[in-house]
Amino acid sequence: MIKPIIKHLMKLNSSLPGVARKATFGAAIIFAASSLIFTGCQKDSAPKPDPSASAAVATTATRPPIGAGRNLSTGSDHGYFYQCYVSSGSGSISFPQAGTYAGNFQANWSNVGDIVAGKGWNPGSVRVVNYNCGSLTGSYNNFSVYGWTTSPLIEYYVCELGSVASGSAIGTLSSDGHNYTVYKHQQIGQPSIQGTATFWQYLSQWGGSSTGSNHAVTLANHFNYWNSHIGQMGALNLQILAIEAYGNKSGSCNATVW
């Protein structure tokens, strides 16, 4: 199992549309081990999404202000690192099919100020991230490969569904059969995994993925492009497949990463 080393995650910035910022906080999130199991994600054959589920809606919203009431839970499950961050409202993470698909997770949220929940690795690596989003219902902001580096401190997203577009557009990157628009955005004096800091965000925006089928993200293509067009990345820290929703949204996501 991968021992979680994350101490502080994420930040919020109420003045910008796009990527939600996460702060550092205390109490552990309540896990919903008995939560409803939606149609799962499979590695070898693509599952069908829940036929009774309504289509998920990706939207933008004003981020909640930095303040009290946030909860963060991290740990390991079936050899994968996981996290669940909730600012307000109700949110949880569980692993209903992890006995069969080790990277499976289920996130549920209701009237949430902000949730970032998912599964992956800590530390990450220059890998191909395979995933299957078997079910995504309600409303959300982005479904992405998400991570941090240190020395320098950088936050990065590769957005597969929804949007993380923010800051300055740098160019277009072709990877895995898709065209991503690359953005950079500087956060000044914002919460991070190293406390309040100034750092860059590296953002690859596609958003055209689908549920119920297998997809891949070749991180080397994004890392190489970011290094040459924005600036050198640092040592890899946490790296997860994550669902993010903010602005009093409600929904659920069942996905598998490997």
- Convert the pLDDT of each residue in 21-40 to its tens digit: 443 333 333 333 333 333 33
pTM: predicted TM-score of the whole model, two decimal places: 0.76
Q: Domain spanning 57-257 has what CATH number?
A: 2.60.120.180
Catalytic residues: 155, 244
Domain range summary for the chain, segments of one domain joined by +: 57-257
- Convert the pLDDT of each residue in 88-122 to its tens digit: 999 999 999 999 999 999 999 999 999 999 999 99
Give the chain's residues under pLDDT 50: 1-54, 60-69
Q: Which long-range contacts (CB under 8 A, 24 or more apart) does 31-34 make?
A: 31/73, 31/84, 31/92, 31/93, 31/94, 32/92, 32/93, 32/94, 32/106, 32/108, 33/94, 33/95, 34/94
